[in-house]
Amino acid sequence: ADVRYAPDSTRFTVHGAGGTFDLTTPLIGEFNVYNILCAATVALALGIAPATIAAAVAAFPGVIGRMERIDAGQDFLAVVDFAHSPASLERALLTLRTVLTQSDTDGRIIAVFGSAGLRDRAKRRLMGQVSGRLADFTVITAEDPRTEDLDAINREIAAGVLETAASGRFTIVPDRAAAIQAAVDMARPGDVVAAFGKGHERSMCFGEI
């Protein structure tokens, strides 16, 4: 209970048979709070002391590409996440908005994402709608277009964005590296730049490669 989000940490209080104690984690996201609570419950049942649990939680760096914070000394929060569906994108953006709200900052959320080719076409427009509604600016880009036309995929996403946001609140940058760089370049102190869809993946599928 009493979850408190900040750009550099998440803090919450555990209430259980072992007593009440605070935990601080560098991880972001409600799902991480749930996972930590489950792990803490098991640890308490095994007789592990709250102080030991707290130290382990504070030291755990998280999973690559799952609400992963990228710290290169910048003055804004940068996150990489695997969200690649309307529902997961919505949860991720709502979490990041909570981080900004609880940090008492007027920072913006700049979302970077695309949609895979030869997969569920309906979600493209839906993801655009979600980002238009919950992000302050959307950068639409490539995400494994495979044999589909990348420009056509991006236009479908853009159509969704336009249903919930003004035309000046998105751009299309087909090259993913250039798209992320564009988001970084427009970021101001206190903003959030979040790259969604690829997560831990280090490859991009164009054509049949």
Strands of the sheet containing 170-172, edge to edge, are: 68-70, 77-81, 192-196, 109-113, 137-140, 170-172
Tell me what pLDDT residue 126 has: 98
Q: How confident is the model at residue 209 (pLDDT cuts 50, 70, 90)?
A: confident
Region 147-168: what's the mean pLDDT? 97
Q: Give Cα 46 distance to the centre of its chain.
A: 33
If 0-12 CB within 10 Å is exposed, 13-18 middle and 19+ buried, where does residue 56 land?
A: middle
Residue at 108: amino acid letter: R
3-class secondary-structure state, position 47:
coil
Whether 1 shows a pLDDT value over 70: the answer reads no
CA distances from 87 to 12, 49, 158 (A): 25, 37, 18
Q: How confident is the model at residue 17 (pLDDT cuts 50, 70, 90)?
A: confident
CATH 3.90.190.20 fits 68-196, yes or no: yes
Q: How confident is the model at residue 171 (pLDDT cuts 50, 70, 90)?
A: very high
Report the chain's mean pLDDT, rounded to a whole number. 95
If 0-12 CB within 10 Å is exposed, 13-18 middle and 19+ buried, where does residue 34 land?
A: exposed
Task: Output 7 or 55, whichever has higher pLDDT.
Answer: 55
What residues does each domain of the chain span?
A: 4-59, 68-196
* Low-confidence winner among 145-149, 185-189, 205-209 (lowest mean pLDDT): 205-209
Q: What percent of the chain has pLDDT over 70?
A: 99
pLDDT single digits (tens) 59-94: 999 999 999 999 999 999 999 999 999 999 999 999
Asked if residues 183 and 139 have their Cβ atoms less than 8 Å apart, the reply is yes
Whether 102 shows a pLDDT value over 70: the answer reads yes
